[in-house]
Amino acid sequence: MDAIYLIGDSDTVNAFRVCGIEGFRSDPDSSQQTLGELLARDDASVILVTRECAVPLQETINRVNRESGKRVILEIPGMADAPGMGRSLTGYITEALGVAL
């Protein structure tokens, strides 16, 4: 069964857990290792990565999105992102998943 996973800060991971999305707490220093572990899983079809964690992953994200017909990696705003500070949790989840809650 295909799954959606999240790599991000603890607040964002906890927020997406409400929607049933399994998350992995990470930061820019550990996000490459976390992404590698998720890419090794057969069920990881959609991987959401907060902007902060995505910074060191740009090359890998671009390669996977270009070459893989099986999965996609999407960069999303994290709860701690300055541009999104005034938005609600529902707004973040709606933007990331493309569905209204």
**Could you read off the pLDDT tens digit of each residue along the chain, which spans 101 residues?**
689 999 999 999 998 998 899 999 999 999 999 999 999 999 999 999 999 999 999 999 999 999 978 899 999 988 777 665 455 666 666 666 666 65
**Which residue ranges form the domains of the chain, and what is each CATH number?**
3-97 (3.40.50.10580)
pLDDT in the model for residue 8: 95
d(CA 84, CA 87): 5
pLDDT in the model for residue 18: 86
83: Cα within 13 Å, side-chain hemisphere: 7
pLDDT in the model for residue 82: 64
Per-position DSSP letters for 50-63, written without gaps between them = EHHHHGGGHHHHHH
pLDDT in the model for residue 85: 45
pLDDT in the model for residue 51: 92
Task: Retrieve residue 23's tokens.
Answer: 């998350």
Q: Looking at the whole model, is its pTM more than 0.85?
A: no
